[in-house]
Amino acid sequence: MKNITTDPAEVLEISEADLPLMVFSDHMRSFLSWGIKTHEHGCYNHFMWMINPRKFVSQDWVLHEVPAKDYLKGKHRLKFVRGIDWTPAQKIRIRVALSLALGKPLYKRLYDPLQIFGKVIWCNWLQIPGLNICSDHGYILHKIDPKYNLVHPSPTDINKWTKEHQNKYEVYLRYLPD
């Protein structure tokens, strides 16, 4: 598979063997997305995981699985990143951690609007205890990579972190809508 595609079918063809993948998303037609990217000096406004073919684990208003095709309608630019040397056991740990997070009661999977306000005023610690935003689910990296030390990161923070550790992480695929 080449590293860049404009064909949504190539995203939908990502096999179970190639998973899990971190997914960075840029909603190219959203004012909110533009604001997040501008504030964070980054290229992506959303972070999620792909642990099953054709599905993303995404923290929107609630942490849930969403069909990948929802992000392939021409509004989102996607970047898929993987660990270069993740073992089968590490891949299972990622899947289990996300499955456990998805299995929590609804009130524990809700989006944390206070944390977004905290990020706007540069107070990343400001949050509702027990709630998360999309990029908080980067914590799963710490389960397989003890050097991962980001606390309440933004999607930009996680993207920069993987770039700074290119000996361990690589871009698997970039999807650019036509």
Residue 15 burial (10 A CB sphere; 0-12, 13-18, 19+): exposed
pLDDT, position 40 = 62
- 143: which 2 tokens? 């389960």
Q: Which of 135, 119, 156 is nearest to 127 (CA)?
A: 119
For the entire predicted model, the pTM comes to: 0.88
The neighbour count for residue 45, using CB atoms within 10 Å, is 26
Domain CATH number, residue 154: 3.90.1720.10
Question: Whole domain around residue 158: which residue ranges?
Answer: 4-175
Amino acid identity of residue 56, one-letter, is: F
Number of domains in the chain: 1
Backbone angles phi, psi at 47, to 5 degrees: -125, 135
Quick one: pLDDT at residue 1?
Answer: 47
Axis-axis angle for helices 155-164, 31-40 (nearest 10): 50
Predicted local distance difference test score (pLDDT) of residue 2: 61
- The SS3 of residue 165 is coil
Residue 92 structure tokens: 């299972």
- Tens digit of each residue's pLDDT, the chain (178 residues): 469 999 999 999 999 999 999 999 987 565 455 456 565 656 788 899 999 999 999 988 899 999 999 999 988 899 999 999 999 999 999 999 999 999 999 998 888 777 677 777 777 777 777 767 666 778 889 889 999 998 888 888 899 999 999 999 999 999 999 7
Backbone angles phi and psi of 12, in degrees to 5:
-70, -20
Contact 72, 62 (CB under 8 A): no
Which pLDDT does position 104 carry in this prediction? 94
Instruction: Give the Cβ contact number of residue 3 at 10 Å.
Output: 11
Treating both helix axes as pointing N-terminal to C-terminal, what angle do 113-120 and 31-40 enclose, rounded to 10 degrees?
A: 50
